[in-house]
Amino acid sequence: MHRTRSVSSIFDLIHHFESFKMSNYTTADENAADIALLKSKFAFHQDFPKKGIYFCDVFPAFRDPLTLELLITHFVSHIFNVTIPKLAKGGKIDTVVGLDARGFLIGPIIASRLGAAFVPVRKAGKLPGKCAKASYAKEYGEDVFEIQSDSIAKGANVIVVDDLIATGGSAKAAGELVQQLGAKTLEYLFIVGGSNLNGAAKLDAPAYSLVDIEL
């Protein structure tokens, strides 16, 4: 009984997501309203984690399941309507790379809806096995990222996702790791883009953010 119901709901879901390929999810007005709602859910903290940083906390948006669904739906709609049509006919996204740690909140959900793999980029020392490494500077510190060397096939089409781009140092390092593995980053996607910090200029592919905020 349960099995029948869950299979039919999976088919319904697939049908629902297939429809993204045919039409945009929202009109411009609906889109603006969704983005305003999303923005209203973020919390802002001056001087966290260091003096001079205006910290945008996206976690409150995850407390409301409808806001989370809206956020994921907008990403998936953008990917089906803008990212995938730029590929050669029949092209697809093979892998969604998410950045430690807040990129892990959205990466696996987006990957699941695209039928793609999810691969984490983690801070150094967290991943077992052979890893590629890249050091980087971000808005409030320096760090080293790693990716498992066998996690992405050469030539794979990749998108990189994270909660936020500020200076772009973290996303750039993730792109370097994708390159080291011989794969191609098609696009970088963020919930929040720091509109005053010009992080996207550092990247080797276009950046898309749902909400632009001065940080």
Ligand X SMILES: O=P(O)(O)OC[C@H]1O[C@H](OP(=O)(O)OP(=O)(O)O)[C@H](O)[C@@H]1O
> Catalytic residue among 122, 139, 146, 176, which?
139
Q: Is 167 helix (H, G, I), strand (E, B) or coil?
A: coil
- Single out the residue of 109, 166, 177, 200 in contact with ligand ADE (rule: CB under 6 A): 166
Give how many residues touch ligand ADE by CB under 6 A: 9
Instruction: Give backbone dihedrals phi and psi of 15, rounded to 5 degrees, phi first.
Output: -60, -45
**34 contact choice in ligand X, ligand ADE, none (CB below 5 to 8 Å, kind-dependent):** none
Among positions 42, 73, 138, 143, the unique one binding ligand ADE when judged by CB under 6 A? 138
Q: Has 102 been annotated as catalytic? A: yes
169 binding ligand X? (CB under 6 A): yes
Q: Transcribe 116-158 into DSSP letters.
A: -EEEEEEETT-S-SSEEEEEEEETTEEEEEEEETTSS-TT-EE
Task: Give the binding range for ligand X (CB under 6 A) out of 4-12, 26-34, 71-79, 168-176.
Answer: 168-176
Among 84, 105, 164, 183, binds ligand ADE (CB under 6 A): 164
Cα of 85 vs its chain's centroid, Å:
18
Q: Which residues contact 138 (CB under 8 A, 6 or more apart)?
A: 166, 167, 169, 170
187 tagged catalytic: no
Q: Pick from 20, 34, 56, 95 the residue near ligand ADE by CB under 6 A.
A: 56
Whole-number Å distance between alpha carbons of 202 and 152? 23
Rounded to the nearest angstrom, the gap between the alpha carbon of residue 96 and the centroid of all alpha carbons in its chain is 8
Q: Which of 102, 113, 146, 176 is catalytic?
A: 102
For ligand X, the binding residues (CB under 6 A) are: 99-102, 138-139, 162-170, 199
